[in-house]
Structure 1
Amino acid sequence: MIFLGKARLFSLFLMSRYVVKFCIGGDVITATEYIQDPGSITSSGGLYRMGFFSPNGSANRYVGIWYSNVPTNNILWVANRKNPILDSSGVMTISGDGNLVVVNGKRELVWSSNISNSVNDAKAQLSDSGNLVLLKQSSNSSANGAETLWESFQHMTDSFLAKMKLSTNSRTNEKKALTSWKSPSDPSIGSFLASLDTRGIPELFIWNGSSLYWRSGPWNGNIFIGAPEMQSLYIDGFNLVDNHEGTVTYSFAEASSLSYLLLKSNGDLVQPYLDQNSSSWGIAWSSRGSDCDVYGQCGPFGICNAKKSPICSCLRGFEPKHLEEWSRGNWSSGCVRKSLLQCNGTTNGSSKASKKDGFFKLELMKVPNYGIWTDDDCQGNCFSNCSCVAYAYDSGVGCMYWSGDLIDLQKFSVGGTTLYVRLAHSELEKKRYLREIIATTVIIGTLIVIITIWFARRKAKKQVKESKEIYLSNGEAPLVVSSEEMLGENLSRVKFQEFVLYKIEELAAATGNFDDANKLGRGGFGPVYKGTLPNGQEIAIKRLSRASGQGQQEFVNEMVVICKVQHRNLVRLLGCCVEGDEKMLIYEFMPNKSLDTFLFDPVKQVHLDWRTRFNIIDGICRGLLYLHRDSRLRIIHRDMKASNILLDEELNPKISDFGMARIFGANENQANTRRVVGTYGYMAPEYAMEGRFSEKLDVFSFGILLLEIISGRRNTSFYEEDQFLSLLGQAWQLWNEDDTLALVDPNIPVRCFKVELLRCINVGLLCTQERAKDRPSISTVISMINGEIVDLPRPRQPAFTARKITQDTDSSGQSQKTCSANDVTLTVLQGR
Structure 2
Amino acid sequence: MTLFLHKSILLLLLIIQSVACLSIENDTISTGVVIKDSQTITSPKQIYKLGFFSPPNTTNRYLAIFFAFSQETVIWVANRDTPLTDSSGSVTLSRDGNLVILDGTNRTVWSTNLTTSPTNPVVQILDTGNLVLREEASGDMLWESFSHPTDIQVQGMPLSQNVKTGKQVLLTAWKNATDPGTGRFTGGLDVTSGTPQLYIRDIEGRPRLRSGPWNVKTYPRIGLFGKEPYPRIRILRILIRVSVSVPHRFYAHLDGFNHVTNDSAGNFFFTPQLMNDRHIISSVNFSGSMERKVWNGNKWDLVLVAPENECDVYGKCGPFGSCNIMQSPICSCLRGFEPVNEDEWRRGNWTDGCRRKNRLQCGGDGFAMLQNMKVPDFAKPLLSMVQDECRTICRRNCSCIAYAYDGNIGCMFWSDTLIDTQDFGSVGVSLYIRLSASEFDSSTRRKLYIIIGVAAGFVCISVMMFIAWWLIVKRKGDKEKDTSIVEAGHMFTTDSTAIVLRNESNEVNIGELPKFTFKMLANATNQFHVTNLLGRGGFGPVYKGIGRGILYLHRDSRLRIIHRDLKPSNVLLDQDWNPKISDFGMARIFGGNEDHGNTARVVGTYGYMAPEYGMGGRFSEKSDVYSFGVLILEIVKGEKNTHYFNDELSLSLVGCAWKMWSEGNGLSFVEENIASREMEEEMVRCIQIGLLCVQEYPKDRPSIEIALSMLSRDIVELPLPKQPVFVENGSIPGPGSTDQNVFSSNELTLTVLDGR
How many Å apart are 1:413 and its aligned residue?
4.1
Q: How many residues align?
A: 411
Aligned residue for 1:228, secondary structure, equals coil
Q: Provide the residue aligned with 2:554 in structure 1.
A: none
1:162 Cα deviation from its structure 2 partner: 2.1
Say whether 1:296 aligns with 2:315: yes
Give the gaps of 5 or more residues in structure 2: 1-12, 238-255, 453-638, 640-671, 678-756
Out of 168, 175, 178, the residue aligned to residue 161 of structure 2 is: 168
Matches within 5 A, 1:353-364: 357-364=365-372
Measured after TM superposition, the shift of residue 408 of structure 1 is 0.5
Say if 1:97 and 1:119, in contact at 8 Å, map to a contact too.
Answer: yes
- Assess, with a 3 A threshold, how the Cα gap between structure 1 residues 258 and 19 changes in structure 2: closer, same or farther: same
SS at match of 1:331: coil
Equivalent in the alignment of 2:196:
202
| CA deviation profile, 1:781-801 (whole Å, cap 9, x unmatched) | x9xxxxxxxxxxxxxxxxxxx
- Which residue number in structure 1 is paired with residue 186 of structure 2? 193
**Cα distance in 2, alignment partners of residues 150 and 378 from structure 1:** 45
Q: Rate the CA distance shift 1:17–1:24 in 2: closer, same or farther, 3 A.
A: closer
1:269 to 2:290 alignment? yes
Structure-2 separation of matches of 1:44 and 1:68: 11
Trace 1:517-528 onto structure 2 (pairs within 5 A): none
Structure 1 partner of 2:461? none
Map of 2:226 onto structure 1:
228
Contact persistence 1:100–1:113 (CA under 8 A): yes
Q: Match for residue 116 of structure 1?
A: 115
- Which position in structure 2 is the counterpart of 1:637? none
- 2:140 aligns with 147
Amino acid corresponding to residue 260 of structure 2 in structure 1:
L
Q: 1:433 and 1:261, CA in 2 relative to 1: closer, same or farther beyond 3 A?
A: same
The CA distance in 1 between the partners of 2:14 and 2:351, in whole Å, is 63
Query: 1:210-609, aligned counterparts within 5 Å?
Result: 210-225=205-220, 226=223, 227-229=225-227, 231-232=229-230, 233-234=235-236, 236-243=256-263, 244-252=265-273, 254-276=275-297, 279-345=298-364, 357-374=365-382, 375=384, 376=386, 377-435=389-447
Quote the offset at 1:202 in angstroms: 2.0
Instruction: Show the counterpart of 1:512.
Output: none
Post-superposition Cα deviations, 1:505-552, rounded to whole Å, max 9, x if no partner, equal: xxxxxxxxxxxxxxxxxxxxxxxxxxxxxxxxxxxxxxxxxxxxxxxx
Q: How far apart are residue 436 of structure 1 and its match?
A: 6.8
Determine whether 1:61 maps to 2:81.
Answer: no
Deviation of 1:437 after TM superposition, in Å, equals 9.2
- Counterpart CA distance in 2 for 1:113 and 1:186 is 21
Q: Partner letter of residue 97 of structure 1?
A: D
Q: SS where residue 325 of structure 1 aligns?
A: helix
Report how far residue 414 of structure 1 moved.
4.5
User: What are the Cα deviations for residues 151-174 of structure 1, in whole angstroms up to 9, with x where unaligned?
Assistant: 111211111122222221111111
**Secondary structure at 2:446's aligned position in 1?**
helix
Distance 2:88 2:136 in 1: 29
Query: Alpha carbons of 1:101 and 1:19: their partners in 2 closer, same or farther (altered >3 Å)?
Result: farther
Unaligned runs of 5+ in 1: 1-15, 139-144, 346-356, 441-666, 668-776, 783-832
Aligned-partner SS, 1:430: helix
Cα deviation 1:628-667 (Å, max 9, x = unaligned): xxxxxxxxxxxxxxxxxxxxxxxxxxxxxxxxxxxxxxx9
AA aligned to 2:413 is: Y
RMSD: 3.0
The 8 Å contact of residues 163 and 249 in structure 1, kept in 2 or not, is answered as no
Partner Cα separation in structure 2 for residue 259 and residue 373 of structure 1: 31
Structure 1 residue 439: Cα displacement: 12
Q: Offset of 1:296 from its aligned partner? A: 0.8
* Cα distance in 2, alignment partners of residues 340 and 249 from structure 1: 41
- Distance in 2 between residues matched to 1:36 and 1:242, nearest whole Å: 40
Superposition deviation, residue 239 in structure 1: 1.2
Which protein has greater RCO, CA pairs closer than 8 Å, 6+ apart? 2
Give matches, 1:535-684, under 5 Å.
Answer: none
Question: Is contact 1:133-1:152 (8 Å) kept?
Answer: yes
C-alpha contact (below 8 Å) 2:161/2:269 kept by paired residues: no
Distance 1:229 1:42, change over 3 A: farther
- Where does residue 131 of structure 1 map in the other structure? 130
Give the Cα separation in 1 of the matches to 2:180 and 2:426: 36
Q: For 1:404, what is the secondary structure of its paired residue? A: coil
Instruction: Work out the CA distance in 2 between the residues paired with 1:222 and 1:76.
Output: 27
Q: Quickly say closer, same or farther: Cα 1:438–1:322, change in 2 above 3 A.
A: farther
Which amino acid counterpart does residue 74 of structure 2 have in structure 1? I
In structure 2, C-alpha distance between the alignment counterparts of 1:341 and 1:116, rounded to whole Å:
57
Could you tell me how far apart the structure 1 residues matched to 2:53 and 2:229 are? 36
Aligned residues of 1:60 and 1:84 also touching (Cα < 8 A)? yes
CA contact (8 A) 2:344 2:350 kept: yes
Q: CA deviation at 1:286?
A: 3.0
Residue deviations 1:252-307 (CA, integer Å, cap 9, x gap): 4642111122111122122211123xx12122223311111111110111001112
The residue identity in structure 2 corresponding to 1:51 is G
| C-alpha distance in structure 2 between counterparts of 1:269 and 1:286, whole Å | 6
Q: Secondary structure at the match of 1:222?
A: coil
Q: Distance in 1 between matches of 2:53 and 2:84?
A: 10
Who is 2:712 aligned against? none
Q: Deviations over 1:583-632 (max 9, x none)?
A: xxxxxxxxxxxxxxxxxxxxxxxxxxxxxxxxxxxxxxxxxxxxxxxxxx
Q: Structure 2 vs 1, CA of residues 19 and 107 (structure 1 numbering), >3 Å: closer, same or farther?
A: farther
| CA distance in structure 2 between the partners assigned to 1:174 and 1:400 by the alignment | 25
Of stretches 262-271 and 244-253 in structure 1, the one that deviates more from structure 2 is 244-253
> CA separation in 2, counterparts of 1:303 and 1:18?
71
String of CA shifts for 1:229-261, please: whole Å, max 9, x gaps.
584442742112245523224234642111122
Deviations 1:8-32 (A, max 9, x none): xxxxxxxx99976466532111233
Q: Which 10-residue stretch deviates more, 212-221 or 31-40?
A: 31-40
> Of the two, which has the highest radius of gyration?
2
Aligned to 2:236, what secondary structure does the other structure show? helix
